[in-house]
Amino acid sequence: MPKSSKGDPHRGPVPATAWAADAEARARGRVEMFNAARPGGLDNWTMDERQYELMRSHILGMIDEADGEEPVLLKEVVAAAQDRYGSHELFPNGRLTNYVRYTKVDLEARCEIERVPRSSPQRIRRRRDNPRPG
């Protein structure tokens, strides 16, 4: 697996085979979860496409609503998701933490967002460069 120039194992891109697996999963209403730190770029499980798209929109929306170039705290993204979608029909168990975190890792591998280096607590922002194939 190629390492990013910045040394973050979570940064994509993932191989074309991962994108092909995702296309197959989406044909079934699922999303193949990407993880750039894993061999082949796949976490080897899928999420319901509707759940994924709601979490993706939530994460990207919070980043986009942030003031200018300021990154957002991941814990705030998780808390807001819990408040907004804790009783949503797509999440019958009402617990959103893992949905947000797994989608965040996937979005890093898809080159849409990135972790702010050396930030604690963790902060995320839109990725400035996008080497995504296609």
For 72-126, what is each residue's pLDDT tens digit?
999 999 999 999 999 999 999 889 999 999 999 999 999 999 998 888 899 999 9
What type of residue sits at position 95? R
**Domain assignment present for 6:** no
Domain count, the chain: 1
Q: Read off the pLDDT of residues 34-84 as tens digits, 9 standing for 90 and up.
A: 999 999 999 999 999 999 999 999 999 999 998 666 899 999 999 999 999
* Residue 77 three-state SS: helix
Residue 10 inside a domain? The answer is no
Residue 134 lies in a domain: no
Write out the residue range of the structural domain in which residue 43 sits. 16-125
Would residue 35 count as lying in a domain? yes
Q: Judge whether 24 lies within some domain.
A: yes
At 131 the pLDDT is 58
Alpha-carbon span 30 to 116, nearest angstrom: 29
Task: Report if residue 93 sits inside a domain.
Answer: yes
Sorted by sequence, the CB contacts under 8 Å of residue 73 that are 6+ apart come out as 121, 122, 123
In a domain, 133, yes or no: no
Residue 110 belongs to some domain of the structure: yes
- Bond before 121 cis per omega within 30 degrees: yes
